[in-house]
């Protein structure tokens, strides 16, 4: 069953379909992964877009700040976004 996506729904990056853009609300966690994502420029307020994913869904490619970034789904689950 597909989840209905609208402005009020709390989403993570893995919930976005290909080609859909969003804005980062929050990076969950305080560990090394969250810190590394923020060092790569994934901070609240930044716009990004899901470009594509591998055949089995891992990794996914996102476009952020003018560059492409591939990340695992568990990393993308730590990124809360809003439409």
pLDDT of residue 45: 93
Identify which of 46, 56, 52, 55 has the alpha carbon closest to the alpha carbon of residue 23: 46
Segments making up each domain of the chain, as ranges: 20-82
Name the pTM for this structure.
0.80
The mean predicted confidence, pLDDT, of the chain is 85
**So what's the architecture of 20-82 in CATH?**
Roll (2.30)
Residues in the chain: 83
Measured distance CA(28)–CA(38) in Å, rounded: 11
pLDDT in tens, 61-83: 999 989 999 999 988 988 999 98
The 10s digit of each residue's pLDDT in 32-49 is: 888 888 888 899 999 999
């Amino acid at each position: 069953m597909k989840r209905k996506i609208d402005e009020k729904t709390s989403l993570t990056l893995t919930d976005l379909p290909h080609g859909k853009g969003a804005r980062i609300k929050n990076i969950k966690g305080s560990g090394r992964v969250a810190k590394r994502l923020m060092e790569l420029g994934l901070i609240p307020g930044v716009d990004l877009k899901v470009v594509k994913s591998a055949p089995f869904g891992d990794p996914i490619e996102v476009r952020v700040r003018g560059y492409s970034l591939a990340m695992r789904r568990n990393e993308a689950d730590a990124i809360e976004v809003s439409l």
